[in-house]
């Protein structure tokens, strides 16, 4: 190998080291590698030419070419690491997320006062040992009326402004009804689960009625406690505990003798309140506000549910969820509950994390 060839190697080394240095990405670097060290690369061709040289020539050319090959390989390896680092840096720079930025504003829904109050009531009664029972909104006339000691001719049937379902032409069975109250759940629960029991049954009920305090669909909550020796005294204690927890202040109740077909004796229950400057305050003053119907479950009702009234007795009550929601949160018109007016919902609705509990506002 003569001087000229050695110069050629120096030239090759400079040229390829320059190209390796200049490669802007891994693809360009690979192209450089192939043109030098690939099968048809310039350096590979020179390596092959070693075979045609004299032993003397090979002695100098061999090591020189090997050194060139090693230098280029080392330079390529170094460049590859450099390019990979740079690519990662570039990705990190563009994919960077600023976790300190505030979130994009999102339209928030609210919990409807009826849902809120239903959950509050359930939470309080759960603490008093009551579980939740359910029944269908389309009810047979047996469960809605007869089983509750309201026979066909009873005036209570007419008074309830019942919605009747349609029967097929010629089908003379009594039509199903939209349940007019949650009381049929008493029967269904005792039938399915027996006694003793302590349940509440919240749900929708329906009556053909419409004014400031009546809507054709509204919500009730039924209560039922049956055991060997449950009395009106237990009922009064449970209700006072409930109203005091619900309104967050000690609330007295007043029982007024009344009549319901499904209870004997029956009582309507008022809670203590005051009206000051048109403002209603529960739990103070000497006014009274009717909030529910109740009584000792009638023996006929127990019998209809397959429970022996000689062995078992207990109380039941029914109250309007919407009504106590209006009282607690100062909502004046029942009809607005069901208008789905977003301004109303935003005003009276609750945040999703306003979790009800018996500990939320009791001050006794
Ligand atoms: N079901 C009655 C109504 O809708 C309310 C009621 C009264 C329920 C007395 C009861 C009760 O469980 O004992 O007006």
Reported as a single tens digit per residue, the pLDDT across 267-291 is 999 999 998 887 888 999 999 999 9
**Cβ atoms of residues 267 and 297 within 8 Å:** no
Handedness of CA 322, 324, 326, 328 (dihedral sign): negative
Select from 259, 265, 317 the residue to mutate for testing ligand 1; criterion: most ligand atoms less than 8 Å from CB. 317
Please name the residues in contact with 67: beta carbons below 8 A apart, sequence gap of 6 or more. Answer: none
C-alpha–C-alpha distance, residues 122 and 361, integer Å: 15
Q: Give the CATH number for residue 218.
A: 3.30.930.10
| Together in a domain, 169 and 311 | yes
Q: Looking at ligand 1, which atom is closest to the CA of residue 318?
A: 8
C-alpha–C-alpha distance, residues 201 and 182, integer Å: 7
C-alpha–C-alpha distance, residues 41 and 31, integer Å: 10
**Cβ atoms of residues 207 and 180 within 8 Å:** yes
Q: What is the pLDDT of residue 155?
A: 79
C-alpha–C-alpha distance, residues 25 and 213, integer Å: 76
| Together in a domain, 232 and 284 | yes
Q: How far is the CA of 345 from the centre of ligand 1 (A)?
A: 29
Reported as a single tens digit per residue, the pLDDT across 108-147 is: 789 999 999 999 999 999 999 999 999 999 999 999 999 9
Domain that holds residue 71: 3-94
- Residue 101 inside a domain? The answer is no
Q: What is the pLDDT of residue 363?
A: 35
Q: What is the pLDDT of residue 108?
A: 79
Please name the residues in contact with 117: beta carbons below 8 A apart, sequence gap of 6 or more. Answer: 321, 324, 325, 328, 329
| Together in a domain, 226 and 341 | yes
Which token pair is 245?
Answer: 């927890």
| Together in a domain, 77 and 151 | no
Distance of CA 219 to the CA centre of its chain: 21
Q: Strand pairing partners for 193? A: none
| Together in a domain, 257 and 172 | yes
| Together in a domain, 340 and 307 | yes
Q: How far is the CA of 123 from the centre of ligand 1 (A)?
A: 21
Q: How far is the CA of 48 from the centre of ligand 1 (A)?
A: 105
Q: Looking at ligand 1, which atom is closest to the CA of residue 297?
A: 13
**Cβ atoms of residues 182 and 204 within 8 Å:** no
Name residue, tokens 């000051």.
Answer: 276
Q: What is the CA radius of gyration of the chain?
A: 43
Q: How far is the CA of 359 from the centre of ligand 1 (A)?
A: 28
Q: How many domains does the chain have?
A: 2
Please name the residues in contact with 52: beta carbons below 8 A apart, sequence gap of 6 or more. Answer: none
| Together in a domain, 143 and 261 | yes
Q: How far is the CA of 318 from the centre of ligand 1 (A)?
A: 4
Mean pLDDT in the chain?
92
C-alpha–C-alpha distance, residues 325 and 344, integer Å: 14
Alpha helices in 128-231 (DSSP H): 141-144, 155-159, 184-193
Task: Kindly report the protein residue whose alpha carbon is nearest to atom 4 of ligand 1.
Answer: 181
Q: Looking at ligand 1, which atom is closest to the CA of residue 224?
A: 12
Pocket of ligand 1 (CB under 6 A): 181, 183, 222, 260, 262-263, 293-295, 316-318
Which token pair is 54?
Answer: 């004299």
| Together in a domain, 238 and 320 | yes
- Residue 292: enclosing H or E segment and its boundaries? strand 287-297
Q: How far is the CA of 245 from the centre of ligand 1 (A)?
A: 22
| Together in a domain, 131 and 23 | no
Name residue, tokens 């680092």.
Answer: 85
Q: Looking at ligand 1, which atom is closest to the CA of residue 222?
A: 12
Looking at the chain, the whole-number percentage of residues with pLDDT higher than 70 is 96
| Together in a domain, 287 and 236 | yes
Q: Looking at ligand 1, which atom is closest to the CA of residue 263?
A: 13
Reported as a single tens digit per residue, the pLDDT across 238-261 is: 999 999 999 999 999 999 999 999
Q: Looking at ligand 1, which atom is closest to the CA of residue 180?
A: 4
């Amino acid at each position: 190998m003569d001087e000229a060839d050695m110069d050629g190697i120096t030239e090759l080394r400079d040229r390829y080291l320059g190209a390796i240095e200049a490669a802007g990405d891994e693809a360009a670097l690979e192209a450089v590698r192939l043109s030098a060290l690939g099968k048809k690369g310039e350096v590979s061709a020179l390596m092959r030419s070693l075979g045609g040289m004299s032993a003397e020539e090979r002695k100098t050319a061999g090591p020189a070419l090997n050194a060139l090959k090693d230098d280029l390989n080392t330079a390529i390896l170094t460049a590859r690491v450099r390019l990979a680092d740079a690519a990662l840096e570039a990705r990190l720079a563009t994919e960077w997320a600023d976790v300190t930025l505030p979130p994009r504003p999102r339209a928030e829904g609210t919990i409807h006062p009826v849902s809120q109050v239903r959950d509050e009531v359930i939470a309080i009664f759960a603490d008093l040992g009551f579980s939740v029972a359910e029944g269908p909104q389309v009810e047979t006339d047996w469960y809605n009326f007869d089983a509750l000691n309201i026979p066909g001719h009873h005036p209570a049937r007419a008074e309830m402004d019942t919605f009747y379902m349609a029967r097929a032409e010629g089908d003379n069975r009594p039509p199903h009804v939209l349940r007019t109250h949650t009381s049929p759940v008493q029967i269904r629960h005792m039938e399915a689960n027996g006694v003793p029991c302590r349940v509440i049954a919240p749900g929708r009920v329906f009556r053909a009625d419409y004014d400031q305090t009546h809507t054709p669909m509204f919500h009730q909550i039924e209560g039922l406690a049956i055991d060997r020796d449950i009395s009106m005294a237990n009922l009064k204690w449970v209700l006072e505990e409930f109203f005091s927890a619900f309104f967050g202040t000690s609330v007295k109740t007043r029982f007024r003798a009344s009549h319901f077909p499904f209870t004997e004796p029956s009582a309507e229950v008022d809670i203590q309140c005051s009206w000051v400057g048109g403002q209603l305050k529960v739990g103070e003053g000497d006014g009274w506000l009717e909030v529910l119907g109740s009584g000792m479950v009638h023996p006929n009702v127990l019998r209809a549910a397959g429970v022996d009234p000689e062995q078992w007795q207990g109380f039941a009550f029914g109250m309007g969820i919407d009504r106590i929601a209006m009282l607690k949160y100062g909502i004046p018109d029942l009809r607005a509950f069901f208008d789905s007016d977003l301004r109303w919902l935003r005003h009276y609705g609750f945040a999703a994390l306003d979790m009800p509990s018996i500990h939320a506002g009791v001050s006794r």
